[in-house]
Amino acid sequence: MGRILHIGVGNFARAHLAEYTADAGGWRITGVSLRSAAVRDGLRAAGHKYALAVQGRGVRRIGVFDEVLVAPEDPGAVLARIADPEVAVITLTVTEKGYHLGGDGRLDLDDAAIVADLAGGAPRTVIGYLARGLAARRAPVTVLSCDNLAGNGARLGAAVAAFGEAAGLPPLGGFIGFPSAMVDRITPATTDALRAETGCPMAVATEPFREWVIEDAFAGPRPDWPGVQIVPDVAPYEMRKLRMLNGAHSLLAYAGTLAGHAHVHEAVGDADLRGRVDALMTQTAQTLPAEMQDAAAGYARALMQRFENPHLAHKLRQIAMDGSQKLPHRIVAPLRELVASGKDASALHAALEAWLGFCRAEVAAEQPLEDPRHEEITRLITAGAPDSALLGVIGAADLARD
């Protein structure tokens, strides 16, 4: 029996990591919530089981979590579990903003939450927790990021090391692995209808498709997750998924909301938007490594089918959140590569412009922007700043076409 410590017990982890781990058998998960007690209380009330509604395959009860720690209530318990030799794998789904990285992909040492964590006391960020917890670690452990960042493992390892150095902690032991990974499963927010249908307040709905490719850089034992590919280099898979799936998603989220749609399946049913998504996928596929080129058109077709799925009711506004953290990986990086090689990048430029249009429309409608950089974005828009100034927020001022 092995144990995983999972930080960030949201819907995605409950639809992806937890189902894979249930399928593997023999492992249990200690969840960690960095903020609220809601998931801990909900799972506890349900005997640590929740309903996973896999579209077309019925409802399955998943019981791999056997405890959930709420970090603000007991930070010491979380730090102790990070150092605990019983825990062989620490997994994370904390979303892009949970890493507190700057535009250069390194830990932002001026970020207010990181500054507070460096000052000492109970950590608030996952980086603070990992750096302080791993400093006391003596047994091998794999720290596995499951978030949509390019080079997620390498960036996480570097961020934890940078925090440790700034905090004067001893260097990380060589027995700690930070593999990079590509994770994929479209998982919308839970609706009241699903809760009522399953009788489970913690229920999660997801699509039948799931994929997980992990760099072969484990530092100790791991579950025998069925169907997971363990590869020497995950970058090609990660680039394909981030640039094609997530890039198309972000385009749909901003342009689709501006066009009056609410859900992904409705947006791809709109001929104009569908054409723009096709163009974005074709253009961005040109940036993928050679070995991904032949299969790119088939991958794009399969994505379009997943987007067309009407049963998921995947809200565009869910995807639109945190654009400042998502776009650098999904749009800005491939756009720069296309521009540098003189290739057509018009659909990616248009995706950035859709983000700008979305932000401006939200500010005009006095809707609060859901983005960690909302203050800066709102201030610039209110002052009538040009595209270049707004794109500066994501380190892409030079990509403005105004």
- Provide the binding-site residues for ligand CS2, judged by CB under 6 A: 148, 184-186, 245-246, 249, 318-319, 326
Check residue 51 and give left, alpha or beta (phi > 0: left; psi -120 to 50: alpha): beta
Residue 219 or 253 with smaller CB distance to ligand CS2: 253
List the structure tokens of 68. 């959930």
Residue 176 or 280 with smaller CB distance to ligand CS2: 280
Nearest to 148 by CA among 31, 29, 241: 241
Instruction: Please give the residue whose beta carbon sits closest to ligand CS2 in the complex.
Output: 249
Nearest-approach distance from CB 21 to ligand CS2, in angstroms: 17
Residue 288 or 319 with smaller CB distance to ligand CS2: 319
Residue 30 or 246 with smaller CB distance to ligand CS2: 246
Residue 177 or 323 with smaller CB distance to ligand CS2: 323
Residue 141 or 267 with smaller CB distance to ligand CS2: 267
Residue 53 or 319 with smaller CB distance to ligand CS2: 319
Nearest to 399 by CA among 363, 349, 342: 349
Nearest-approach distance from CB 12 to ligand CS2, in angstroms: 7
User: Who contacts 287 (Cβ-Cβ below 8 Å, separation ≥6)?
Assistant: 239, 243, 334, 337, 338
Nearest-approach distance from CB 318 to ligand CS2, in angstroms: 6
Whether residue 68 contacts residue 39, with contact meaning beta carbons closer than 8 Å, is answered with yes
Nearest-approach distance from CB 325 to ligand CS2, in angstroms: 9
- The amino acid present at 256, given as its one-letter code, is G
Nearest-approach distance from CB 93 to ligand CS2, in angstroms: 10
State the Cα–Cα distance between residues 285 and 239, nearest whole angstrom: 9
Nearest-approach distance from CB 184 to ligand CS2, in angstroms: 4
DSSP tally for the chain: helices H, then strands E: 20, 12
Nearest-approach distance from CB 277 to ligand CS2, in angstroms: 13
Cα dist from 400 to 240, 249, 338, 386, 395, whole Å: 25, 21, 15, 9, 11
Residue whose tokens read 């004067």: 168
Report the Cα 164 to chain-centroid distance in Å. 24
Nearest-approach distance from CB 167 to ligand CS2, in angstroms: 31
Residue 305 or 382 with smaller CB distance to ligand CS2: 305
β-pairing verdict for 2-7 and 27-33: parallel
Task: Starting at the earlier edge strand, list the strands of the sheet with 181-184.
Answer: 181-184, 211-215, 229-231
State the Cα–Cα distance between residues 397 and 344, nearest whole angstrom: 19
Whether residue 6 contacts residue 92, with contact meaning beta carbons closer than 8 Å, is answered with yes
Helix (H) or strand (E) holding 299: helix 296-308
Phi, psi dihedrals of residue 212, rounded to the nearest 5°: -155, 120
Residue 34 or 149 with smaller CB distance to ligand CS2: 149
Nearest-approach distance from CB 61 to ligand CS2, in angstroms: 23
